[in-house]
Amino acid sequence: MTVFTVLIGMSSAQADDLSQCSQSFYGGVYPEFTNSKLSNNTQALCMDGFAVMYSGVSRTPLWSAEYLDRKRLQQAKEIDREDSFHEESRLPKSMRAKLSDYSGSGYDRGHLAPNGNMANRSQQYDSFSLANIAPQSPRNNRYIWRNIESATRYLTQQYGEVYTITGVAFTSKKTKQLADNVLVPSHFFKAVYIPASNQAGVYYAPNDESERIDVISLDELTAKIGIDVLPVLDAQAKAQAFDLPLKAGDSSDLPETPQEEPVWMLFVLAIIDWLMAQLQA
């Protein structure tokens, strides 16, 4: 039995009304717990530009939800990064992660809803709330997850819009803790839904230095973590994993386009056309 399992018997906090930030969820429907124990001592938070389900047990978010489109990503490109990690004042002190929890821990403060998706200063500030942060392996955060975030933005540019749910899982028999408070996730995931094609897939990676990552279906994710992150989708979309790119701009990910003839070939063809015209004259 993990530490996380033992602690989830604590009472639940009063949650915000997620209907206030329904635009972050496809169809306005937010994730559902299939393992009801996980909902204990949780707090839903409507942030500027995204939504969070925070756990007072792990003192991390369980998931963060975003709606992305081309306009938002263009606005995000125009804002430089300003780090402003801070404790979440809307949470009871008994539930909050503290900045000191991460000090000297050996783990990065990993964003679930990334700063790179934030279209204005208010959204950017909210993304640095510890309610949107979980302990993340440095190599996972700086390489694997950075690529995944870029690939998700790439898919948004390609298809026009996506809905994404990013979260953590606690599946290890022994759960690590930071400063005896914040629990360290065993895995990170990012579920991506593309409305234009009604397809979805999930990036699922161990929270370690292995650089391993799998692409799985929504049904597989639900079985692993006890949360249906996109409950409104049909059975086929949940059962079949869309072949998500592992980094932005892979040549294999780009749509096929007709190959242009080289300039010298166009010149030769023009001469042939001229000769044919002379013979027919």
Give all domains of the chain, ordered by start, each with its CATH number. 3-249 (3.40.570.10)
Q: Which residue has the tokens 């007072």?
A: 56
pLDDT at 262: 46
- Which segments in the chain show pLDDT lower than 50? 1-15, 251-267
Per the annotation, does 141 bind a ligand?
yes
pLDDT at 270: 54
Q: Which amino acid is at 69?
A: D
pLDDT at 9: 38
SS3 47: coil
**What tokens were used for 81?**
């990064």
Q: Which residue has the tokens 């404790």?
A: 87
Among 62, 68, 55, 73, CA closest to 23? 68
Q: Which amino acid is at 267?
A: F
Which positions are annotated as active-site residues? 111
Q: Global pTM? A: 0.84
Sign of CA dihedral 58, 213, 230, 162: positive
Max CA distance (Å), the chain: 93
pLDDT at 42: 96
Among 185, 227, 219, 228, CA closest to 201? 219
Give 47-66 pLDDT, tens digit per residue: 999 999 999 999 999 999 99
